[in-house]
Chains A and B, each alone.
Chain A
Amino acid sequence: DTAVSQTPKYLVTQMGNDKSIKCEQNLGHDTMYWYKQDSKKFLKIMFSYNNKELIINETVPNRFSPKSPDKAHLNLHINSLELGDSAVYFCASSQQFTGSQPQHFGDGTRLSIL
C-alpha cells in the first residue's frame, strides 16, 4: 500500500494551460505539504496544510492554488503555466504540524512545460 500517492506521475503540457496534481495519504497524518524540486535538486516548501487549514504559504505566485478537501487529500492547481514551472512537485505528510517529525514523500509529479 502506497502511503503517500500523487497523480499524475508525469505531466507534459503547453505554456498558458491550467493543470492540477492530486495527492492522498493513508497514514492518518494531520499535516500535508507541497514541495517543488528544481533541476538543481533544491527542495523548497510551497504550502503546508494542517487538518485542512492552510498554515504555510511561501512566496509562491498566486497562479498556484492548493486545496485540501479533507486531511487525507491535498491538491495543487496551477493556472497559466509558465516555462519556469517545470520541476518535480512532491507531496508529503507528517503526523502533526511541527517541523520535528519525519515527513513521508510521494513519488513526485514531473511537470514539463513546452
Chain B
Amino acid sequence: GENVEQHPSTLSVQEGDSAVIKCTYSDSASNYFPWYKQELGKRPQLIIDIRSNVGEKKDQRIAVTLNKTAKHFSLHITETQPEDSAVYFCAAPVAAGNKLTFGGGTRVLVKP
C-alpha cells in the first residue's frame, strides 16, 4: 500500500524536555524523508529532510534518524521551547517515487 503512519498523534512535553515523533513507511523504494512544521493557521514549512544514503541529520535542536531496514524514521527535538508547539508532519515518496504522501500529523504542545 501507499502508507505513511505517524505516531503519536498528540504529544505534550515540558519545556526543556525532548520530543520524539516516529514514522513508518511501506514503499521500500522511498528515498527522501522530509519533516514539515505547521503552526496554527499557517502553512506547512519544511524544517529538515534526510535522504536514504544518510542515517542521521542534525540542525541545531532538531535531528532526523532513518532506519531503512525497518522502514522508519524519526524526528527528535531537544530542549523544547514553547515556539516548538505546532503540528508536525512526516512524508515519504510512494508510487514510483513521484507522489509525496504525508503522515497523519503529530500535535506537539510544549508546556512552559
Contact = CB atoms under 8 A, between A and B. Distances in A.
Contact of A101 (B32, B92, B95, B104): B32
Interface string B44-61: 111001010000000000
Interface residues of B, number: 26
Nearest to A102: B46
Contact of A98 (B43, B89, B97): B97
A66 interface: no
Interface string A76-114: 000000000000001000000111111111111000000
B99 A45 contact: yes
Interface of A is mostly: loop
Interface of B: 31-32, 34, 38, 42-46, 49, 51, 87, 89, 92-95, 97-102, 104-105, 107
Interface of A: 40-45, 48, 55-56, 90, 97-108
